[in-house]
Amino acid sequence: MALGSLNTLVQSTAMNAMIVARRLFAPLYTSTVADVLRMRSALPAVKSLEANKSCTPIDIRSTLNRVQTCDNHFGYQAISKAPPLVFAWSQSSDCVRQLNRDKVPDERLPLASAETPMITAIDFINENVNGHMGLIHGGMTTIIAHSTLSLLAAANVHGSVAARSLNMDYRKPIRTGHFVKIHAWLYHQQDNELKAAVHFYDLDNTMLVEATSNISIS
């Protein structure tokens, strides 16, 4: 077979594979922002949070406006992404009950003295952030974790906040076209430093990603 014909065959095979994959994942490519908001409002996880008197919905923009500067990537909703729905937990709440207790060491339990010890976000993983077909890119997972931790910091301090470190532990793949539940909480606060953690779960409460971060305040 001539080299040109071989190249044409390879390109055609790759194109056909992409067409088949897109058909298999068709639901992922037809969810509009309105669809996402409608599906999200019907989720049992959302209804449970809305009914819980220990947490309240927060507005991302107004919360971030409390600080002078911070790392915020929630603007990636510009790629037709519905913004996450975020709830803040009060000081009097038992945040530990919301977490998988056996997954959190004692030294990393939520800081009860914090103004907002924990936030919980329900986020839809848009198909435009995929790496491999149907899976979120690991870098975008980091961006979501980073932004959620920045939002947590903004809910607790005034000034400028910046993550000095972010350690990611990827447990299971996160699939596009699905919702995730994200818990982010403070577990240490001293002088100009915060220590925080974040867990990603699917809606069956299977942990997908775990991360810790040191955040500086100036």
Residue 122, pLDDT score: 94
178, 140 contact by CB (below 8 A):
no
Average pLDDT, the chain: 79
Which pLDDT score is estimated for 137? Answer: 77
Q: Answer with the residue of higher pLDDT: 163 or 46.
A: 46
Phi/psi of residue 111, each to 5°? -80, 105
Which one is predicted more confidently, 49 or 59?
49
Q: What is the pLDDT of residues 181-207, one digit of tens each?
A: 999 999 998 888 999 999 999 999 999
Q: Report which of 177, 174, 205 is spatially closest to residue 44, judged by C-alpha positions.
A: 205
| pLDDT at residue 104 is higher than 80 | yes
Confidence of residue 127 (pLDDT cuts 50, 70, 90): low
Q: Quote the pTM value.
A: 0.80
Q: What is the mean pLDDT of residues 14-39?
A: 60
